[in-house]
Amino acid sequence: MGRLQDKIAIVTGGARGMGAATSRLFAQEGARVLIADVLEGEGHALAAELGQRARFERHDVSDENSWRKLIDDAVRSHGRIDVLVNNAGVLMFRTLAETSLADFARVIDINLIGCFLGVKLVGEQMVKQGSGSIVNVSSVDGMKGANGLGAYSASKWGIRGLTRVAAMEYGHKGVRVNSIHPGGIDTAMGNPYGEPRSEVNKRYGMVPLQRVGEPVEAARVSLFLASDEASYLCGAEIAVDGGMLTGQYYVGFPGAPGV
């Protein structure tokens, strides 16, 4: 307990999924959490659940004015911003041939431009303070290709590159910028039909851990990067993927279960 004691944290997309798990964990560890999301009902409910350590604010990450208001409100209330988790994002399954310009632009606006605005504008506040930690949520699809995920992969590769640049530009000013790269996580985005986890796990036979991840498992990595325990990490890329990027686990080969 207390790994983020009295730190001021913003979590975008914080109302559900990995964002909600992150908001909960940060509050448990002593942070004052600003839950930023367009999902008002879920956001207010989560803030009420977490009590005095959390507040919800409606926030569109693709809108610069929304960012400026969010930052102004946080600084007015608390005097500083110690942590930003750029978690908000959308997923779209569509081949390149099926993807319209409007489809592509929407994913880029939310996933990549939203992250850029957070890094730029919250980063400016952190530089003024001389300290801060930014955690950008990319994806394993920011480290590899995947058919049907052209817009999503492009946005997540962009977040990876943006993180490295920001780490170089902000690190010597006291602001650490790192990225996490979740694989399959059991959220509304990754499991839109709400299948039982036992059923979802059947699709993960080629992942070394052979199961889908839980939202809190990604949140714990964001917590580490946000905390002072990660004081010498800047520009790091941490895959939270059950070993997915290690390679495919071929059932029937030596070392596979039952062989």
Residue 151, in any domain of the structure: yes
Give the residue numbers spanning the domain of 190.
8-240
Distance CA(259)–CA(257), nearest Å, equals 6
Distance (Å, rounded) from C-alpha 122 to C-alpha 34? Answer: 13
Residue 259 maps to a domain: no
In a domain, 255, yes or no: no
Q: What is the pLDDT of residues 73-84, one digit of tens each?
A: 999 999 999 999
Active centre residues (catalytic): 152
pLDDT of residue 259: 47
| Residue at 246 is within a domain | no
Does residue 250 belong to any structural domain of this protein? no
More confident call, 249 vs 119: 119
pLDDT at 15 over 50: yes
Total domains in the fold of the chain: 1
- Residue 113 pLDDT more than 60? yes
* pLDDT on residue 1: 66
Q: What is the mean pLDDT of residues 250-255?
A: 64
pLDDT at residue 189 in the model: 85
Question: Does pLDDT of 31 surpass 50?
Answer: yes
**Nearest residue to 178 via CA among 140, 214, 221, 145:** 221
CA-to-CA distance for 121 and 222, rounded, in angstroms? 20
The answer to whether residue 190 sits within a structural domain is yes
At 251, is the pLDDT very low, low, confident or very high (cuts 50, 70, 90)?
A: low
Residue 247 above 90 pLDDT?
A: no
Lateral strand order in the sheet of 237-240: 54-58, 32-37, 8-12, 83-86, 132-137, 175-182, 237-240
pLDDT digits (tens, 9 = 90+) for 37-59: 999 999 999 999 999 999 999 99
- In a domain? residue 85: yes
* Residue 186 exposed, middle or buried by CB count within 10 Å (0-12, 13-18, 19+): buried
Cα→Cα distances 148→89, 91, 153, 215, Å: 17, 11, 9, 23
Identify the pLDDT of residue 194.
86
Confidence (pLDDT) at 258: 52
Please, are residues 191 and 204 in contact by the beta-carbon 8 Å criterion? Answer: no
Residue 204 covered by a domain: yes
CA pseudo-torsion sign 69, 20, 164, 155:
negative
Dump strand ranges (E) for 138-189.
Answer: 175-182
Q: What is the CATH number of the domain that holds 24?
A: 3.40.50.720
pLDDT confidence tier of residue 193, bands split at 50, 70 and 90? confident
Nearest to 7 by CA among 216, 25, 17: 25
